[in-house]
Structure 1
């Protein structure tokens, strides 16, 4: 299974979580500080659109990356945009496995080889799906599922290990917080979360 196929599998697992979200749950807090579930999912759908546009040759146009309203159909908005993205990645890979992509929200905007861009989004997909699962207060099935698929878990951890971790890269307002100490005996998914500054034990505040 190549990286594009692993990414498609990541999206399938994410859909198993995000596909359960109901409109009334969009007000729930998430592990992303200051973001409720609506804001998180609007970001996710906007990223789908941006990565798909990049895979189809778009330049560094930030307008293509803006958040997309999910309103009354969060699960459908995720699924439709994810299908468009996986198709764009597959089409690009069929043409050129190292096609350069412009990703204006990442570091200097690139260009990044397609394989690296796919890795970035694989990480985003799984981590944001975990954010949603945690926000819903659901059992941690996603981490167990990923840890049970050796190649997918290895791909996630490999990308997480390469995310810049200097203080300036993890300052407030950045995508990730400072790395946390990895829990003893943790599996690959929880290790990846800790590398990104997320507490694998995060739970929604008591209501």
Structure 2
């Protein structure tokens, strides 16, 4: 039987793969692309990228026990957006690779001043976020992003555990209401579970 600790350790390996894929996807962004709309409502690619960078630094701070809300705030992209993203992504990947990170209590001040979660849960949040955001960026740029079957199976399990209901429609919700889509272990099915329309931009979720 596979133990929970083994599953969590495996998720760290899959998480590292997802971060590397996200770096590869963002490397395709040109400055002229930054004004394009994205599957994330109300965000251009510039806004999405600054959010992704901020979340990398925020989660890295969280798993290192730092509750400073400033770490979660967006920052200027600079002249090389892809390089800015790579630096943030590698910073987060290194933080999650630290020994004992899964057992730590991680402050998430973006969600409330007293919110803390286990490192394993923070890892799952960050993992599924970057599966979805990699899809967001690739969709914006007009190409498909691919993850292996292990990543997709793990991402679907995490996505299925995300609460639904009215909270998905609240301002600032991390994910929108689920979009009807055939149930399968595919990237399209996973992003639909988390409020994206796989048919974007032809269909508004």
1:201 maps to what in 2? 199
1:101 and 2:115 matched: no
**Structure 1 stretches of at least 4 aligned residues deviating more than 4 Å after TM superposition:** none
Given the alignment, which residue of 189, 192, 199 partners 2:190? 192
For the 8 Å contact 2:153–2:185, the answer to whether it is kept is: no
Alignment check: 8 A CA contact 1:50 1:65 kept: yes
Number of equivalent positions: 195
Matched with 2:6 is: none
Paired residues of 1:30 and 1:204 also in contact (CA < 8 A): no
Preserved CA contact (<8 Å) 1:127 1:193: yes
Residue aligned with 2:103, SS: coil
Are the aligned partners of 2:60 and 2:96 in contact in 1 as well (CA < 8 Å)? yes
Superposed, which structure 2 residues align to 1:110-189 within 5 Å? 110-138=115-143, 140=144, 142=145, 145-146=146-147, 149-183=148-182, 186-189=184-187
Rounded to whole Å, the distance in 1 between the matches of 2:163 and 2:114 is 15
CA distance in 2, matches of 1:64, 1:124: 18
TM-score (norm 2): 0.87
1:72 is displaced (CA, Å) by 2.1
Q: Which segments of 5 or more consecutive residues in structure 2 lack a partner in the other structure? A: 1-8
